[in-house]
Structure 1
């Protein structure tokens, strides 16, 4: 089934097939158990695809991938697509109840696993990769899907009601993502990427297909290594990684793990951030330790719009600036420019464009917009809706729920989540707007603002923060309150500031705001 398309690749796995034909002997995948060339990866994927096709010959089914992080994960992704089906990641670290929910909600037809499946998956037909293959594998399967609009994968995101939502993303979207990023980054087959994230987190989509589409080497990071900053730093050096995609919270832990004499990652060309706001102080600390050769890129994106919407490279001038002036100058990273084929608009509650100085909801149109939510037509209609275009017919937009401030010249700055707003004394408050002002203060390592409840049940904002190394907590706390009062309207000043030893992280590496809302009461207050 592996082939080198003579035309522009139509399907996602065709991007891999083209490289397998071009550089068959180059290392495609590596993990803690070994490595596979492009030819070996193609052979394994084709054999597994034939087994899947023998069980599900029609095409268009959804197949769960219940696999440890390793080369088998990527081989299985390829096999599912080659057999004409859609892959649905099932992280083995997830609770059994969540896995069972996804299996039922996605109506999985089959599971690929490397272990005895848990109770919630046990009733489904399973292809076990930890058991010997059949002695006579089935014949190669014909391509069952030829339409690039067919779904390639379903990734589940948390829902505001507590019910996860399955996002359907077609082949064409990821192809468009790779093509658009080619115009932004100088990526090539000599690069070494990491698959740092779980396949259940959409950042992994870019990690896998961005690497394979360029004929690069993809190092699949074991979960235990991903959880250890020191081990991860060692891996970057040992594997000579050149492209690292990472959530800012994780990058902060990498920076803090650097010690005098730590060997720098010798060829790291790009660090691409996604999923959270970037703290420029962390990048400056990295550059002080390892020099200015690495390029840093901030991105904004959503699962429903295929990983990235915008990208924004950080300049040497910004990174070499005086950090003590950041707060006074109001320096904050803007969202950057939309990728080619993506469109980003900031609209008010009535669907009208927000003028400079205003804040509105980010709407995304264009090449990255997903097909919708699996089995949720009402929610799909609510979040994926047509809006009038500046020119031409109405276009399908995704309502992100994210807010942005429109600065002079049309520059956009992220302003948090619309659904995290809190109403206090009649004012609608977005915590992200407050964080953007306070997080850049010298002496603050990290800071988030969470919605909490006061002593008599009134809603309020609490700023939870951690102190930077060698800073005096009392002095920083005093400065926080002073800057908040000087730069924010009274209704945006947090009612309480709480200093914590660390901010808790969730399973994807992002700050766990729900945990903070429960934890802050046990921490000592630095400012009341």
Structure 2
């Protein structure tokens, strides 16, 4: 089922496949049986991590490997740091995570090397859907996961297990010969994930519900949108982390991006982004926030953006989200740091730093540029009220959010409030000089005028 009748890769006596995956990992099925079933040659990688890119290149060159499967994370690292490792190959297969379009385009253009993006959970045996790219014009802003391979069916269904319209997101279900029987000694989980196939004519047919979100494109290929369990709820809003990552990746200097929700302080959940810049490029975090402001609503913008040299990978060369570090409080600033110049600015900087958990806030640092959001904005307004005794309208905060601008707002509100108090005192003094008859006449006049 995986090899016969499919065109996502070439198999035959002229091909040498590299076995990188552990034998317990389902990708090894492709790497072992792909060459052996068709008279090809199998090259076994040494018992060391393939993240040793120098070793990976040496093995490919010395053993004249022509085809290999690299997980999405490892593929990006090879393209960036050891691209010559790909020179002797005739085809590359990748997948296991979201594949970077700029990296695929570079390989197809520079090496004229076909690249296949393969999608498929272990429960459907390696690949269920593939997209093979042999020309640069096939590589768009994002890489689709493609169309189902032979003897495989895929469906995009809603919560009622009904097909969704073209272009609409739906959960991806897989059927066909590649499905596993179930989970060993877990009948409850098997019943939950492997469900009866309502579209099949043969009795007993099943579908595997992947938990992945996808949509059909007009060209008949599938676009992966992210995990349903990566659809998080933050401050009452549902957020699809894949959309945040896609917005970050749209920046031309971004190589990789990951978004997740952290709760480093109990009860304080925050959306955090991790970004790796293109090699030898200096990425300005402010420009990232500008792009996010254009593409995402406020509630979907990360509170913190952490720059990394590389994303941590698991032993299977997938992004290790659990190993991503907590933001260290060294928040980006829009301009060079300038210390607060007076008591009001110092108090405001302290308040902003406490709310945002940022060590140092300068007078020209914007509250929202440092990771503020609408919920924190209401807390800031409350803190300003209790500290300075003035009511700052929330809309004013969104229009002028630097410490310097907030200081001016506080000064203006304080002055207006003092003027109102002085005016009130003057009026009261005038009232005190009036007789009871004059006061009654004044009240009667106001009453008759409707005031």
The answer to whether the 8 A contact 1:342-1:367 is kept is: yes
In structure 2, what is the equivalent of residue 443 of structure 1? 253
The answer to whether the 8 A contact 2:262-2:270 is kept is: yes
Alignment of 1:76-475 (within 5 A): 176-181=1-6, 183-224=7-48, 226-258=50-82, 262=84, 265-266=87-88, 268-286=89-107, 291-318=110-137, 331-389=141-199, 395-408=205-218, 411-453=221-263, 457-474=267-284
The answer to whether the 8 A contact 2:213-2:224 is kept is: yes
Report SS of the residue matched to 1:450: strand
Report SS of the residue matched to 2:48: helix
Change (3 A) 1:372 1:263: closer
In structure 1, what is the equivalent of residue 422 of structure 2? none
Task: Please report how far the alpha carbon of residue 523 of structure 1 lies from its aligned counterpart in structure 2 after TM superposition.
Answer: 7.2
How big is each residue's C-alpha offset from its partner over 1:359-408, in whole Å with a ceiling of 9 and x where there is no partner?
22111011111100011111101100103117676730001111113444
Greater relative CO (CA pairs within 8 A, separation 6+): 1
Change (3 A) 1:206 1:524: farther
How big is each residue's C-alpha offset from its partner over 1:117-152, in whole Å with a ceiling of 9 and x where there is no partner?
xxxxxxxxxxxxxxxxxxxxxxxxxxxxxxxxxxxx
Q: Measure the CA separation in 2 of the matches of 1:273 and 1:480.
A: 28
Q: Measure the CA separation in 2 of the matches of 1:485 and 1:391.
A: 49
Report SS of the residue matched to 1:373: coil
Report SS of the residue matched to 1:179: coil
Task: Please report how far the alpha carbon of residue 232 of structure 1 lies from its aligned counterpart in structure 2 after TM superposition.
Answer: 0.6
Alignment of 1:8-87 (within 5 A): none
Change (3 A) 1:264 1:507: closer
How big is each residue's C-alpha offset from its partner over 1:314-345, in whole Å with a ceiling of 9 and x where there is no partner?
242337x7xxxx6xxxx211121100111111
Q: Measure the CA separation in 1 of the matches of 2:272 and 2:62.
A: 42
Q: Measure the CA separation in 1 of the matches of 2:219 and 2:16.
A: 38
RMSD: 2.4
In structure 1, what is the equivalent of residue 389 of structure 2? none
Change (3 A) 1:486 1:391: farther
Change (3 A) 1:243 1:344: same
Task: Please report how far the alpha carbon of residue 264 of structure 1 lies from its aligned counterpart in structure 2 after TM superposition.
Answer: 5.9
Q: Measure the CA separation in 1 of the matches of 2:286 and 2:137.
A: 27
Q: Measure the CA separation in 1 of the matches of 2:120 and 2:15.
A: 23
**Higher radius of gyration, 1 or 2:** 2
User: For 1:521, which of 297, 320, 327 is the aligned residue?
Assistant: 327
